[in-house]
Structures are given as structure tokens and as C-alpha cells.
Amino acid sequence: MSNTDAVITKVFATPLAMVWLKDTESLNRELAELFLRKEKEGDKHRSPVRIPTQIGDVFESTFDLYNWPDPPVQNLARQVHEILLDLVATLNAYTAEQMAKFQFHYHAWFHITRYGGYQSIHYHPKASWSGIYCVRAGEEVEGRPESGVVKLYDPRGAVFMHADPGNEHLMPDFSTTPVYLTHQEGQLVIFPSHLMHEVLPYLGKRERIVAPFNAWITRLG
């Protein structure tokens, strides 16, 4: 690269947080047993709202998961809340005094996905942060690495307007290439709710279980 006086600044960046929860082996076992048991109760715990982007064999629970009194659910909710608190404070440079004036609200639920189930491209309105916690990753399918992968799209609307050698191989911070995430048991992924994403068709035989959430924040007083 030749000498240049240009100063390159990163702008319009999108934060993507990935963190491992604590004691996930027992937590995931208890959550999986609970969710599978609730699924067997039929429509009692199924969301009454049909999501048009949800295709195939996907069970979606009601959105009040974090209000359930079951110990593993409360354990999950507590850890997610603590992580999101820290993330919001860090990204916004809030002080402890400022954070104390905020109230966090959640919609949370679980998905049980079986062979052929998927979620087409969508985002989560009326929330600032969304996340997905992986309880059970399902199984890998030989020759089909895209099975059940979460695909995140560049949020810049006109970014795909034109491609040529001038922008085809930008470094990751500036790339327009979608991000592909493979679920890993015990991992929580958090991203801005406006980020368009989809879950590609799951082709495994063992059910895959995840616990997503949406969060929004209000000021007290």
C-alpha cells in the first residue's frame, strides 16, 4: 500500500455479542426436559400468534418465558439480564447511576425445531436488543454445513447497490458479506433487533432447542 494521509474511521458498525453462560451442562439438560414436556401439552404453551416467517416443524412457545417460576428458566433469565445490563452500559458508556434509572422489559420464548423447520428473513420490531440462547444444538448433517445456521444480513439498505473489484474483498469490519452463525450449546448471541436475519432449514434428526428474547428499555420516573 502506498503512503497516504487518509485517516480510516469505522462508522455505522453493528455490535454482535457472543458469550457463554455458566454451568450450562445442567442448565441445558433441565431446560430441554422442561421445554419438551411443555410442548407435549399441546396448545397450552404454544404462541397463539402464527408467525408467517416460520415454516415447517417449529414449535414456538408463548412470549412470557422469563415469567415462568421454574428454576432453570429463572437461572437463564437472570444470566441473560446480567449480560444485557453490562452490554448496554458498555456500548452506551452509561454510569451505574444512569443504569439505575432504566427498566428492562422482555419478551422471551423457546423454539423446538425438527427436520425441515426454518425461519425466513425477518427482524424484531419494538425492541432494541434481541438474543438467542442455544439449549440444544441438534446435530450436524454431513455435507450440509448450512443446516440450521443463523444468517445475519448487512443492515445498510443500499450496500448491495453495486459490486466490483473496488469493494469485493473489503476487510471484515467493512464487508457486506452476511454473517453465518452455527448454534453452540451454552452460547448466547445478542444483536440489535433491527438486524435482518433468518434461520436456514434444519436437516438434523434430533430436535434443536433455542430460547430467544427481545428486550426494550424505558426510563423510570
102-149: pLDDT as tens digits: 999 999 999 999 999 999 999 999 999 999 999 999 999 999 999 999
List for the chain the helix, strand, coil content (%; round to 5).
Answer: 25, 30, 50
State the pTM of this model.
0.94
What domains lie within the chain, and their CATH numbers? Answer: 17-204 (2.60.120.620)
Residue 9: what are its φ and ψ, rounded to 5°? -115, 135
pLDDT at 3 over 80: no
CA distance 100 to 13: 27
